[in-house]
Amino acid sequence: MGKKNYFIAFLDILGFRRFAQKHTLEEMYSRIQDMFAAARASEVWGTVNINDISDSRILSKLPYIAISDSIIIYQEVIPLKDIKNKKKWKEEAFREFLIGLEELFKEAFKRKIFLRGGISYGEAIISLDDDNREYLVIGNSYIQAVDIEKVQSWMGVAFHPSMNEFLDNSQYRDLLVEYEIPVKDSYQSCELPNLTLGWVDATIALEEKIFDQWEIDNNRQQEIKSNTKEFFERYVDRPSRCLGINVSMNSIRHP
């Protein structure tokens, strides 16, 4: 066990308490299973063209921990043996993390699971014992991700300033979209990078009907829904950013 550098995303299911109050334990279990399915969708396959040669490979496979209405997604940032340039292997980890999260958010939305998340980067200790019974997640990077998640007022993600080195200079910045993050009234003074995950694109245009099925109980929930729909309508016509990393869209699949 030791500290390592990670990208960490803390994701929360919006409206889960309301769902729990109105549904049976079996229905809650079914919803959690849907969440697992969405998290597994972070395993993305694609055909990558390198020097005019097509190579089918896993583009992203993110580990996750699911606890009730929350998911912790993490990606260890480790040196790649075949890449000596430090910036290069950090960039590849960043790309894989974004691709996996984008697919997770799309699959969650299709299942009427509305997620909100905070993303940070830094040292943490994340371990699972040999019997797969005990998880350990500690570190300021995890706390930062939790703090960023709770200030927002929509389905989407925001980045902690610890991510700035990737947001400012990454060659994979086109996997993100520029957007002013909607925040709760009590956090209006909170300064967040105006970049977010590009989970909305033309590949989910037909899912816009889900907004008609998004039930709300109060003005707070209406604000979250309206902010999400505004983001959806702004970006639903854009082509998938996967094209920007030279991936054949016809080859993307899930196991």
Question: How confident is the model over 206-216, as pLDDT tens digits?
Answer: 999 999 999 88
Q: For residue 65, give the H/E element and its range.
A: strand 64-67
Q: Residue 9 region, left (φ>0) first, then alpha (ψ -120 to 50), else beta?
A: beta
**217 within some domain:** yes
In percent, how much of the chain has pLDDT > 90? 38
Q: Who contacts 129 (Cβ-Cβ below 8 Å, separation ≥6)?
A: none
The pLDDT of residue 159 is: 96
The pLDDT of residue 47 is: 56
- Taking the CA atoms of residue 66, residue 193, residue 211 and residue 21 in that order, the dihedral angle to the nearest 10 degrees is 40
> What confidence category does residue 54 fall into, taking pLDDT thresholds of 50, 70 and 90?
low
Would the CA dihedral through 59, 65, 66, 71 be positive or negative? negative
Residue-range definition of the domain harbouring residue 180:
4-248
What distance in Å separates the CA atoms of residue 98 and residue 103, rounded to the nearest whole number? 9
Q: Which of 45, 36, 10 is nearest to 126 (CA)?
A: 10
Q: Region 149-175: what's the mean pLDDT?
A: 91
Q: Which of 115, 109, 102 is nearest to 44 (CA)?
A: 102
**133 within some domain:** yes
What distance in Å separates the CA atoms of residue 113 and residue 200, rounded to the nearest whole number? 15
**253 within some domain:** no
The pTM score is 0.84
Q: How does the average pLDDT of the chain come out, rounded?
A: 82
Question: How confident is the model over 97-142, as pLDDT tens digits?
Answer: 998 898 889 988 998 989 999 999 999 988 876 665 667 888 899 9
Answer with the residue of higher pLDDT: 179 or 57: 179
Question: How confident is the model over 31-44, as pLDDT tens digits?
Answer: 777 777 777 766 67
**177 within some domain:** yes
**142 within some domain:** yes
> Has residue 230 got a pLDDT over 70?
yes
> Has residue 232 got a pLDDT over 50?
yes
Number of domains in the chain: 1
The number of C-alpha atoms within 13 Å of 65 and in the hemisphere containing its C-beta is: 17
**88 within some domain:** yes
Residue whose pair of structure tokens reads 């997604």 in the numeric block: 73
**255 within some domain:** no
**87 within some domain:** yes
CATH code for the domain in which residue 170 is found: 3.30.70.1230
